[in-house]
A and B are shown apart, each in its own frame.
Chain A
């Protein structure tokens, strides 16, 4: 009877493990849907850097989360009925889902490392308010980068990636069409009033503190992107560690079933 009790305990643990996997799957889906919806509007910047695989990782996370939920239900049924077939199907499908989730986590973690200040700086200087698009795709990216930077600079009261000096230290597409004396930095670096015009244009051009934004925008960009990358990567990692133990237990349980 002790053996049967042991098996019952294992069954109970496996059911509990699968319940947790199911709930985590739902949570992963919800988290990844939140990230894909891009509440901060930073996707055009990443798209322009051609490093938007963090969004690909989030998309995979949506489907993996849902698959985990469905498979956990299958697992619970299989464990309760002690059916070798059901559990074999469960294990194989879980391993496939495991592989996809692994890919998502590693992609999110790796691509987060690519997002350095210089990457955004290059994109900003090359594309912000560029007047001669090379092709339609370039025009799409130019519009995305320009609109996103305009919005970021106004909402976060910042200018450039490291500061307004970015526009002085480096040449840029912006500088080609906007001369330095009238536009040492873009107008959106100025403190704007409610109508969207600078409160003091001379003050902004001179760089008087209080009339222009002297901080860089890198923190405002990298904060949300890092949260997204780490959210997808580490939550996925936690789920996979838990799933590892549940799957090992299921394999052991499966080998102990006898028809």
Chain B
């Protein structure tokens, strides 16, 4: 374990669920290097991190490839935060470097595309020309996320999710004493990355440059249209029907009052209130029974 690394190798590996995230934060920087365990990871019998070299040389087929054939790329996992406005997630360079480089330090180089053709591979990581804080204004590339091959074991175990989050360290963003800070990217990009291996004698291996990586670009929220509402057919139907009904009722009320005022309606078929009515039969004319003798 190199100085400067936080301890993801210090946590016990074993059968259980496992998930490695390279964040290289300082202890207490926010817990980027927690281990989570989603799947069981079969390991070689007796494999332990303290015996890396011997066990990695066991017949494990495609281990130790030519780094010049490896292209770094964004993770293929369905991650919601694959690219945000200032970070992106790469696949770890598993099985990209040969085992002979097990004591070299693997660095990640992040560059603007214009700096790729003129990239000077001899500039040392941590030097001012490769400092994160001076990127991209004063330098076209910076180097960060240094580790050894121990943290990129080959072959990759099935079910293991191994990713690198570039841009996760916010604590050292303005700290000029930490030029290898894995700070958030300053703009939406594009950026191109590659992995390089350095040892005491200089750069010893490099991968290819990645395709340009574009980050999310945030549009101003004032551009969201506010007046995108329409009127639904249901509301129009409801309004018109209710208006017609109300108008009919008002017309009825007017007719009623006109009726009442002029006493003109309902005379022919009215009915009386059911009150007690007594009908007397009485004679209107004097009708006498004249005796037939008057003739």
Chain A residues with CB under 8 Å of chain B are 3-4, 7, 82, 88, 91-92, 95, 98-99, 102, 105-106, 109-110, 112-114, 116, 118-119, 121-122, 125-126, 164-165, 168-172, 175, 179-182, 184, 200-203, 205-209, 212, 214, 233-234, 237, 240-241, 244, 247-248, 251, 254-259
Cα-based distance from A258 to B266 in the complex (angstroms): 8
| B271 close to A (CB within 8 Å) | yes
- Assess the B229–A95 pair: CB atoms within 8 A: no
Interface Cβ pair total, 8 Å cutoff: 173
Interface size on B, residues (CB 8 A): 65
What B residues does A125 contact at CB under 8 A?
Answer: 221, 224
| B34 close to A (CB within 8 Å) | yes
Query: A126-B221, A247-B252, A255-B259 are contacts. A205–B242 as well, Cβ < 8 Å?
Result: no
- Assess the B256–A251 pair: CB atoms within 8 A: yes
What A residues does B221 contact at CB under 8 A?
Answer: 121-122, 125-126, 170-172
- Assess the B34–A202 pair: CB atoms within 8 A: yes
- Assess the A106–B271 pair: CB atoms within 8 A: no
Q: Which of A112, A181, A241, A258 contacts B245 (CB 8 A)?
A: A241
- Assess the B242–A206 pair: CB atoms within 8 A: no
Query: A164-B80, A169-B219, A201-B31 are contacts. A181–B167 as well, Cβ < 8 Å?
Result: yes
- Assess the A109–B81 pair: CB atoms within 8 A: no
| B231 close to A (CB within 8 Å) | yes
The winner among B170, B231, B256 for most chain A CB atoms within 10 A is B256
Q: Beyond A95-B250, A258-B270: 5 further Cβ-contacts under 8 Å?
A: A7-B271, A109-B238, A171-B218, A181-B86, A184-B84
- Assess the B242–A240 pair: CB atoms within 8 A: yes
Interface residues as binary, B264-279 with A (CB distance below 8 Å gives 1, 0 otherwise): 0110011111000000
Q: Which residue of A lies closest to B235 (CB)?
A: A109
| B95 close to A (CB within 8 Å) | no
What A residues does B78 contact at CB under 8 A?
Answer: 209
The winner among A82, A203, A241 for most chain B CB atoms within 10 A is A203
